[in-house]
Structure 1
Amino acid sequence: MHYIRQVKNTVSTFGWVSILLHWLVALVVLGMYPLGLYIVSLGYYDPGYRIYPDWHRSIGVLLMLVLCMRLFWRWINPSPRQLSQHRWERLGASLGHLGLYLLLVTILASGYLFSTADGRGIEVFGWFSLPAIPGLALRQEELAAEIHFYAATLLMVLIAIHALAAFKHHFIDKDATLTRMLGLQSENIDDSN
């Protein structure tokens, strides 16, 4: 095995930009869910009640920017071919990826609507502010918060299935599905296919 050195994807491998964006989104999402659960458990007089929600919103806005970059990068790059020989697995993988993206967009949109329902924008770590859109979520904060929670919980389930599928490819099928997303590539993968 050797490290992938190309920037862009090929038909058989992911480039380092796709790998970096994948793992950045994954780590942020996996950290945001428990942070969100912790925030919900805080009492009004808890010192973290004033700090952690701001962090959660700020990270969410940055995640939205990274997700936009990831979607654009995916649009301008070829997707490496799926290694499964089974049509149902390829269809499942495609639907799973679509579900991951749709849930991420739903979570980010509902989080924005919930956070700006009072008409105030989101201050992002003091660097810049994402303004509220007046009247967009008027009196809809409870609905937006509910959608945000259930979509995030469903995303965690889909992420677990995604990870299990990657481990299945690695340990049972013994193909390069997982290693190529880790930035490693098997010597026998041919880019000419």
Structure 2
Amino acid sequence: MSSLNPVAPRRYDRLTISLHWLTALLVIGLFASAQIWGQLEKGTPLRKELQALHISCGILLAVIVIGRLLWRLTLGRRLPAANQGVMNILAKAAHVALYALLLSQIVLGFVFRWAQAEPFNFFGLFDVPTLITFDKSMKSVFGGLHEQVAWVIVILAGLHAVMALVHHYGLRDNTLRRMLPGHDAI
């Protein structure tokens, strides 16, 4: 809380907080589902169900990430930087990198599926149209990139979480609390 403005909010707004944690849950779930189905025999019902769930959750992630960006760029609550100097620059760079990686991953997920030339849908509610067709030989390229970007996201998000804990328990500042729900998260 700023000493110059005693009524300044200490937390992000509820929508920002909700979208942040939904993104985190989806990223973990998407990564875990891909790791689990990778251990299952091809063609098994569980593997196919996990893949369908992965695709639907990936589409949901796309909507949430785009919504997050639009909210952040327009109406989302702005808080003063939690840190100064190099820590502030590193935090901003990590956030930009996470957004760029998430957007890249979303695009790669769609083009990978389109390169597979197989239909896909959103939780069985509607089919996703093929907007671009690719030669099937691109399937392995897009699939490999999709997997590599997933690992980078998980590693960077893990570092993001570790740093939030360092701030909370080591530096004992309000960095983590700003993204936790609370009475002033309106």
User: What range is the shorter-chain TM-score in?
Assistant: 0.7 to 0.9
Q: CA deviation at 1:113?
A: 1.1
1:98 maps to which of 96, 101, 108: 96
Alpha-carbon distance between aligned partners in 1 of 2:179 and 2:56, rounded to the nearest angstrom: 27
Note closer, same or farther for the CA distance 1:45–1:121 as it changes in structure 2 (3 Å cut): closer
Alpha-carbon distance between aligned partners in 1 of 2:43 and 2:63, rounded to the nearest angstrom: 32
Note closer, same or farther for the CA distance 1:93–1:62 as it changes in structure 2 (3 Å cut): same
Q: CA deviation at 1:12?
A: 4.6
- 1:90-145 CA distances to partner (integer Å, 9 max, x unpaired)? 00000000111111111111111111213344211111121112324653110111
Alpha-carbon distance between aligned partners in 1 of 2:109 and 2:124, rounded to the nearest angstrom: 19
Alpha-carbon distance between aligned partners in 1 of 2:54 and 2:181, rounded to the nearest angstrom: 29
Aligned to 1:84: 83
Aligned to 1:181: 179
Contiguous gaps of at least 5 residues in structure 2: 1-7
Aligned with 2:115: secondary structure? coil
Alpha-carbon distance between aligned partners in 1 of 2:127 and 2:172, rounded to the nearest angstrom: 47
- Contact 1:107–1:148 at 8 Å: present in 2 too? yes
% identical equivalent positions: 27
Aligned to 2:3: none
More deviation, 95-104/114-123 = 114-123
Aligned with 1:184: secondary structure? coil
Contiguous gaps of at least 5 residues in structure 1: 1-9, 187-193
Q: CA deviation at 1:88?
A: 0.4
Alpha-carbon distance between aligned partners in 1 of 2:134 and 2:80, rounded to the nearest angstrom: 41
Count of aligned pairs between the two proteins: 176
- 1:25-84 CA distances to partner (integer Å, 9 max, x unpaired)? 001101111111112222124221221111111110111011111110001134312221
Q: CA deviation at 1:185?
A: 7.1
Alpha-carbon distance between aligned partners in 1 of 2:125 and 2:179, rounded to the nearest angstrom: 32
Aligned to 1:149: 147
